[in-house]
Amino acid sequence: MNRLMRSMGFNRIVQISRPRFWIYVAGTYALGCLVAALESGTNFAVIRPDTVAFLAYFLLPANLLIYGVNDIFDYETDRLNAKKVEYEALVAPAEHRGLIEWIALLTAPFLVLLVSAPQEAVFSFLAFLLFAVFYSAGPIRAKTTPFLDCLISSSIYITPAVFGFHLAGGEGVEPMVLIAGYAWGSAMHAYSAVPDIEADRRSGTATVATFLGRTATLLFCAALYAMATMIAYRWLGVPGAILGAVYVGVMAVSLMRKDESLFQLYKAFPLLNSFSGMVIFVWLIALAYFG
């Protein structure tokens, strides 16, 4: 452990894990637990040692897995991308071994905790691990195949919600909710790929954004957000419609922005996602208690 800390300090692994994105998988996990609790009427009984422990997992450890594997397998292209060098974390080859050891160290205890979890929860957690790894790693490396990149990226954010739902005692995931989640996740992924179009084209990396181009990708995102909103309206009502309109509006504004100002808008996107998640969380609780 001491050798590992010397080779790669804790502050460095926190940086690599992208704290501004922690809320994405932690939020969907918590939402899955909440829905299970509300459906079963167990309410605060869902706050148990195992559910709290896995909430901790979907903060630092899960995000270190997602972005650490990405940084290892993307080094040759990341070093050509100013966004990666200046805004995110460029992980040099000398750091790769230490990063892998940190990922293994922080993941292993939670695999042990799965022993007492429901079977559906075990499957969904293992699916999350596979999607998180093979989004970036070979032989699949889904991020370099247009549209498969959207599908696997969405799965990274949806499987924590499914896991949380089953861990908290939920049974029978609503298919339309999954479709809405995949539409939302695909739009988020495609939007995040737009600022990387030129760098990805220079490096020969194919993504949904390099395939469609800037304008078509933003229209694709707007259509996906609109579809997710129409499906989710059944459960969220007016607040869901308003949030959906905001996302479609952001895509419209992005269409009118130049690349430099679009990147500034992209940097604020985690704040919008966090606010939206908070609204959905509070609204579901309000519906359950006040009808």
Same domain, 225 and 133: no
What is the pTM (predicted TM-score) of this model? 0.91
Same domain, 134 and 192: no
Please, what is the average pLDDT of the chain? 89
Q: Looking at residue 3, which CATH number applies to its domain?
A: 1.10.357.140
Q: Using 50, 70 and 90 to split pLDDT, how confident is the model at 25?
A: very high
The yes-or-no verdict on residue 235 having pLDDT over 90 is: no
Same domain, 167 and 258: no
Same domain, 92 and 160: yes
The pLDDT > 90 percentage for the chain reads: 64
The yes-or-no verdict on residue 151 having pLDDT over 70 is: yes
Same domain, 193 and 261: yes
User: DSSP class of residue 140?
Assistant: T
Same domain, 109 and 241: no
Same domain, 21 and 154: yes
Q: Looking at residue 288, which CATH number applies to its domain?
A: 1.20.120
- Greater confidence (232 vs 1) lies with 232
- Tell me the C-alpha to C-alpha distance, in Å, between residue 6 and each of 10, 73, 100: 9, 23, 14
Per residue, the 3-state secondary structure of 61-104, as one string, reads: HHHHHHHHHHHHHCHHHHCCCHHHHHHCCCCCHHHHHHHHHHHH
Which residues form the domain of 214? 174-291
The yes-or-no verdict on residue 190 having pLDDT over 70 is: yes
Task: State the Cα–Cα distance between residues 124 and 130, nearest whole angstrom.
Answer: 10
The yes-or-no verdict on residue 92 having pLDDT over 80 is: yes
Nearest CA to 191 among 160, 159, 219? Answer: 219
Q: Among 147, 172, 197, give the residue marking a domain's end.
A: 172
Task: Work out the average pLDDT over 101-119.
Answer: 95
The number of folded domains in the chain is: 2
Same domain, 77 and 106: yes
Q: Using 50, 70 and 90 to split pLDDT, how confident is the model at 198?
A: confident
Q: Using 50, 70 and 90 to split pLDDT, how confident is the model at 285?
A: confident
Task: State the Cα–Cα distance between residues 259 and 157, nearest whole angstrom.
Answer: 27
Q: Using 50, 70 and 90 to split pLDDT, how confident is the model at 3?
A: low
Q: Among 172, 198, 229, give the residue marking a domain's end.
A: 172
Same domain, 151 and 208: no
* Plot region of 205 (φ>0 → left; ψ -120 to 50 → alpha; else → beta): beta
Q: Using 50, 70 and 90 to split pLDDT, how confident is the model at 289?
A: confident
Q: Among 172, 187, 205, give the residue marking a domain's end.
A: 172
